[in-house]
Amino acid sequence: MPQLEQVEFFISQLFWLGVFFVILFTVLTYITLPKIRAFLNQRDDFVKSHISKQDELIKKAESIIENYEAKLTEAKNQASQIINVAKDKALKESEDLIKATEEKIQHEIKQTEERVAKEKDTAISELNDQLKDSATNFLSKVTNIEKGNINL
Amino acid sequence: MAKGESPLKQFEIQPIVDINFLGFDISFTNSALWMTITTAFILIFFTVPFLKPKKTNSVSDLYPTRMQVAAELGFNFINSLLADTVGKEGKKYFPLVFTLFMFILFGNLFGMIPYSFTFTSHIIVTLALAMGVFIFVTVLGFVKHGVKFFSFFVIPGLPIYMLPLLIPIEIISYLSRPISLSVRLFANMLAGHTLLKVFAGFVSALGFFGILPLVFIIALTGLEILIAFLQAYVFAILTCLYINDALHLH
C-alpha cells in the first residue's frame, strides 16, 4: 500500500498540507468569509428593514380603517337621527292636520245643527202664526166676529 | 489502467519538482499538486463571486448571482451545522470548520476525476488533519475550563464504584478520536477508489461482457461522489461535536 510504504514522502505531504491548509484558512478567515457574511448581512438588513416598514404600513392602514369605520358609524347614527326627527315631525304635522280638520268638521256640523234648529223654530213659529191666522179667519167667518176681536 | 497494474498504483506519490530543504525532502508531488488545485478552486469559488464592486445603492445589488447563491449554499450549510451542534458560541470556530469541510470535500471530489490524485486517501494527510482537530479541541478545552477539563472524563450521575472502570474507557475513547476520525476518511477513500479500479480492470478483462462491470462502475461512481460529500460532512460534524464537548464538557 503506497500510503504506508512511501514513508519518504510523509514530510513532503505534511509540509504541503500545512502550507495549503494555512493559506486556505487565512484567506478564508480574513477575506472570503467576511465578504460573504457582509453580503448576507446587507441583504438580511434590507429584508428586515422592509419587514419593519411593512409592519408600520400595516399599522397605519389599520388605524385608517378604524378611523373610517368610526366615521361611518357616526354618519350612520347621524342619518338615523335625522330620519327619526323628520319622521316625528311629519307624524306630528299630519296628526295636527287631522286634528284641525276634525275640529273644523265638528265646528261645521255644530253650526249646521244650530242653523237647522233655528230654521226649524222659525218654521214652527211661522206655521203657528199661519195656523192662528187660518183659525182666526175660520172663526171669524163662522162666528162673524171681527178678526180683531178674536183672541186665541 | 494498463493490464496487470495494481489497483493501488493510483495512490502512488510521484514527485513533480524535487525540493530539498534543510535535509528534508519536501518535493512538490502529485499530492501537493491536487492540494494546490483544491485550495485554488475553493478560494476562487468562494471569493470571486463576492469581489464585484457595488454599483449603486439600489435593491438590484442585493440580488445574488448564480455563483453567489452557490457559495452561499456552502456558507449556510456550515453555518447551520455549527449552530445546530455548538450553538451561538460556535460562530468563532466557523472558519476552521468551513476550511476543514471544504478542503476535504473538494479533495474528495477532485479525486473522482479520472487520472487525478486523491490526497485524502493518504493516512498521513487525514491523520494530520485529525490530529490538528484533536490538539485544537484539547487546547480549547483546557483554555476554557483549566484543570476542570479533566471532569470531562467523569460521566455525571454514575455511582462512584463505576468510575475506576469508566474513566479509563473515557480516556481511551477520547484519545482514539483522532485515529477514528482519520481512519474513517482514509479508509473510505481508499476502499472506494480501489473498488473502482478493480472493477475497471474487469471491464477490459471480460471483453464484451465487460459492459456489466462498466454499468456497475457508473453506479459506483455516483455512490463515491455521495461518499466524498458524506465523509467531508462526517469530518466536519465530528469536529463540531468535539468543539461542543470542549466548550460545554458534559
Taking the C-alpha atoms of residue B18 and residue A69, their distance in angstroms, rounded to an integer, is 87
A30-52 pLDDT, tens digit per residue, is 998 888 888 888 888 888 988 99
Taking the C-alpha atoms of residue B122 and residue A14, their distance in angstroms, rounded to an integer, is 11
Nearest to B38, CA basis, from B101, B97, B102: B102
pLDDT at B53: 67
Do residues B46 and B128 lie in contact, with contact meaning Cβ atoms separated by under 8 Å? no
- Own/partner pairs for B113-118, CB < 8 Å, 24+ apart? B116/B34, B117/B10, B117/B30, B117/B31, B117/B33, B117/B34, B118/B10, B118/B11, B118/B34, B118/B189, B118/B193
**A-B Cβ pairs (cutoff 8 Å, strict):** 125
- In the chain, the amino acid numbered B222 is G
Verify whether the Cβ–Cβ distance A3 to B15 is below 8 Å: no
Taking the C-alpha atoms of residue A92 and residue A74, their distance in angstroms, rounded to an integer, is 27
Distance to chain A for B167, nearest Cα, Å? 33
pLDDT band at B144 (very low <50, low <70, confident <90, very high): confident
Which residues of chain A from 26 to 45 reach within 8 Å of chain B, CB to CB?
A: 27-29, 31-33, 35-37, 39-40, 42-43
Nearest to B69, CA basis, from B37, B96, B94, B45: B45
Most confident of B14-18, B110-114, B132-136: B132-136
Verify whether the Cβ–Cβ distance B119 to A14 is below 8 Å: no
Between residues A133 and B225, the one the model is more confident about: B225
CA angle B35, A19, B24 (to 5 degrees): 105
Nearest CA in chain B to A2: B12
Do residues A11 and B26 lie in contact, with contact meaning Cβ atoms separated by under 8 Å? yes
A89-125 pLDDT, tens digit per residue, is 999 999 999 999 999 999 999 999 999 999 999 999 9
pLDDT at B2: 47
Residues with Cβ within 8 Å of residue B122, at least 6 apart in sequence:
A3, A13, B11, B13, B31, B186
Which residues of chain B from 204 to 223 reach within 8 Å of chain A, CB to CB?
A: none
| Sign of the torsion formed by the C-alpha atoms of A63, A69, A73 and A78 | positive
Taking the C-alpha atoms of residue A137 and residue B31, their distance in angstroms, rounded to an integer, is 174
Distance to chain B for A42, nearest Cα, Å? 8
Domain ranges of chain B: 24-49+65-248
A6's enclosing H/E stretch is: none
Verify whether the Cβ–Cβ distance A9 to B12 is below 8 Å: no
pLDDT at B56: 63
Largest CA distance in chain B: 70
A68 touches chain B (CB under 8 A): no
Q: What percent of chain B has pLDDT over 90?
A: 43
pLDDT at A59: 94
pLDDT at B25: 82
Do residues B188 and B105 lie in contact, with contact meaning Cβ atoms separated by under 8 Å? no
Q: Where are the alpha helices (DSSP H) in chain B?
A: 30-47, 66-85, 94-111, 123-145, 163-175, 177-205, 211-248
Least confident residue range of A124-128, B119-123, B208-212: B208-212
B199-245 pLDDT, tens digit per residue, is 888 888 888 888 888 899 999 999 999 999 999 999 999 999 999 98
- Which chain A residues have a beta carbon less than 8 Å from that of B122? 3, 13
pLDDT at B54: 62
The pTM of this model reads: 0.75
Instruction: Give residue B88's Cα distance to chain centre.
Output: 23
Largest CA distance in chain A: 195
Choose the mutation target among A5, A19, A21 for the interface with B, i.e. most B CBs under 10 Å: A21
For residue B201, how many other CB atoms are within 10 A of its CB?
A: 19
pLDDT at B223: 94
Q: Which residue has the cell 171681527?
A: A146
Taking the C-alpha atoms of residue B159 and residue B166, their distance in angstroms, rounded to an integer, is 11
Q: Which residue has the cell 509540509?
A: A15
Verify whether the Cβ–Cβ distance A25 to B95 is below 8 Å: yes
**What would the mean pLDDT of A77-89 be, rounded to a whole number?**
95
Do residues A3 and B123 lie in contact, with contact meaning Cβ atoms separated by under 8 Å? yes
pLDDT at A105: 95
Verify whether the Cβ–Cβ distance B38 to A23 is below 8 Å: no
Residue B196 confidence (pLDDT) above 60: yes
A151, HSE (Cβ side, Cα atoms, 13 Å): 1
Residue A83 confidence (pLDDT) above 70: yes
pLDDT band at A67 (very low <50, low <70, confident <90, very high): very high
A6 touches chain B (CB under 8 A): yes
Residue of B12, B42, B95 with shortest CB distance to A2: B12
